[in-house]
Amino acid sequence: MSTATPHCHASTVEQDGLVYQTGLGNQFESECIPGALPRGRNNPRMVPFGLYTEQLSGTAFTAPRAENRRVWLYRIQPSVTIGAAESLPQEPQFAGGCDPRACEAAIDPLRWHPYPVDGAAGVEYDFVSGLKLQCHAGDPAMREGLAIYLYSFGTNMKDLQTHFVDHDGELLIMPQQGSLDVLTELGRLIVHPTELVVIPRGVVFQVNHFEGESKGPIPGTSPTATARGYMLEVYKGGFALPELGPIGSNGLANARDFLHPVAWCVAQSDYEKPCCIVAKMQSQLYAKSSTHSPYNVVAWHGNYSPYKYNLERFCAVNSVTYDHLDPSIYTVLSCQSEHVGTALADVVLFPPRVLATDANTLRPPWFHRNVMSEYMGLLYGSYDAKVSSGTDGAGGFVPGGSSLHNAMVPHGPDAATYVRAVADPCDAPVLLNRGLAFMFETYLPLRVNPQALRDEAWRDVDYTACWQDLTAADFTGWDWVNGTVGTTREEDDR
Ligand SMILES: [Fe+2]
């Protein structure tokens, strides 16, 4: 019998000087004071270290076990000690600066440049005041729908002593420029460009510039630079991994690559500073004053926690013979509607990958119309369906920009991409590695902030010109259509 000591790897990893717990959907537990987490029961009469017990439920108590999400918090003061809510004393009263009910239907293909932050020079924005609502559907009061925002900020929330909590939905944040230092009730996460972070409904958090080394393809943004990115909010439920079906038990986003924080508590000198918690309820913002920091959870256990995921860990799957699979094959996370297989919101990635299809497969995406609405963003580089994109300053679909093809709105590769792809002999597999694009896809038609439709410094008003060179000039069948030649069909190779 071997006497060697077995090696055990705890399910934690360390990044940027922080420890994370790995997995998705599992039960986590963490304490930043040894012995603070009660054992054997959730709600003892005498809580270690004089802590208070508080349960945060993300689903109904009676939700099926596989969907049930809750966390037990052991904290210095319970959340009820935070003051009553008051309406914000100044604009904007609505998250993202726009009343979602004012958004408008949009039937044209739409594309936007990065939001022109410089146009607001002299105004200091933090993460919350720097949100810009772009697209919206549904109603948070009915727990149905979603909202898509851009964010940009130069000021840390910690410098303003503000925090944010969303009663309306779960938030998914994708930094495009600038690494984020995200403080939450359950711990701290550093989130770099090419990573995403999910903040569950009801969790208080704060977003600051990361003062360490900013990583990702956008080099070296300093702590004072503008940070910017995208944010998706879902009013129903939360995000989960998609089913894998015949793919099997591995692939796409693997559960072990999701990182959850460990318990983290501010020092006493910071704890006793008055602060403001900005709360969002039914799209409106309120201010709650507090005599103390909300980051006072000394221990917690459960499965309702913020988490982050590195998109570069995505294991892409697609055809190695001919044609493309539908883009759902690139789904990272999904928030399902009540229709089986139909998403309120899919988060879809177009990662660097090998295109290994045969010589008679058009490698860019096909032209299509989709019952789903497709919002796209670009984290870096260029997107393979648009040659007019990139970092050459020529406009088009550029990093930080976005596009929307609403339900049934035609779209596809631009004319130059199509012509180039038809001419490509495609005689060998090729590594497609020009950028990182993503898509938020929803079964709801999206309505658009009126400013996003009319602000010509923001909207790319010439977008549809990219398809106008797809003319009928190459069609060789007019004689057949016009009946001026015989009607015998030639054999083909099907
Ligand atoms: Fe599409």
What local confidence, expressed as pLDDT, does residue 390 receive?
Answer: 41
What local confidence, expressed as pLDDT, does residue 74 receive?
Answer: 98
260 is in an annotated binding site: no
Q: How far is the C-alpha of 212 from the C-alpha of 179, rounded, in Å?
A: 9
Full pLDDT tens readout for the chain, 494 residues? 455 666 655 699 999 999 999 999 999 999 999 999 999 999 999 999 999 999 999 999 999 999 999 999 999 999 999 988 887 766 678 999 999 999 999 999 999 999 887 545 566 899 999 999 999 999 999 999 999 999 999 999 999 999 999 999 999 999 999 999 999 999 999 999 999 999 999 999 999 999 887 776 665 555 557 899 999 999 999 999 999 999 999 999 999 999 999 999 999 999 999 999 999 999 999 999 999 999 999 999 999 999 999 999 999 999 999 999 999 999 999 999 999 899 999 999 999 999 999 999 999 999 999 999 999 999 999 888 887 544 444 568 999 999 999 999 999 999 999 999 999 999 999 999 989 999 999 999 999 999 999 999 999 999 999 999 999 999 999 999 999 886 566 555 55
226 CA distance to ligand 1 centroid (A)? 30
59: nearest Cα among 227, 261, 304: 304
Residues linked to residue 19 through DSSP beta bridges, in sequence order: 14
Q: Where in the chain is the domain with CATH 2.60.120.10?
A: 12-24+82-102+123-296+305-311, 315-467
383 is in an annotated binding site: yes
218 CA distance to ligand 1 centroid (A)? 26
- Are the beta carbons of 136 and 145 closer than 8 angstroms? yes
CATH of domain 315-467: 2.60.120.10
**Known catalytic membership, residue 292:** no
399 CA distance to ligand 1 centroid (A)? 18
Quote the Cα angle for 29-34-37, to 5°: 40
- DSSP 8-state code for residue 451: H
Q: Is the dihedral of CA 453, 457, 459, 463 positive or negative?
A: positive
Structure tokens at 392: 């050459």
Question: Between β-strands 52-57 and 28-31, what pairing exists: parallel, antiparallel or unpaired?
Answer: unpaired
Phi then psi for 255, rounded to 5 degrees? -55, -35
342 CA distance to ligand 1 centroid (A)? 16
Give all strands of the β-sheet with 275-281 in edge-to-edge order.
85-87, 284-290, 275-281, 162-166, 205-209, 180-184, 187-191
What local confidence, expressed as pLDDT, does residue 392 receive?
Answer: 41
Q: How far is the C-alpha of 258 from the C-alpha of 252, rounded, in Å?
A: 12
374 CA distance to ligand 1 centroid (A)? 6
What local confidence, expressed as pLDDT, does residue 486 receive?
Answer: 65
123 CA distance to ligand 1 centroid (A)? 36
334 CA distance to ligand 1 centroid (A)? 17
365 CA distance to ligand 1 centroid (A)? 8
Q: Looking at 192, 209, 260, 324, which residue is catalytic? A: 324
405 CA distance to ligand 1 centroid (A)? 7
- Other CB atoms within a 10 A radius of the CB of residue 295 amount to 23
374 is in an annotated binding site: yes
31 is in an annotated binding site: no
CATH of domain 12-24+82-102+123-296+305-311: 2.60.120.10
345 CA distance to ligand 1 centroid (A)? 14
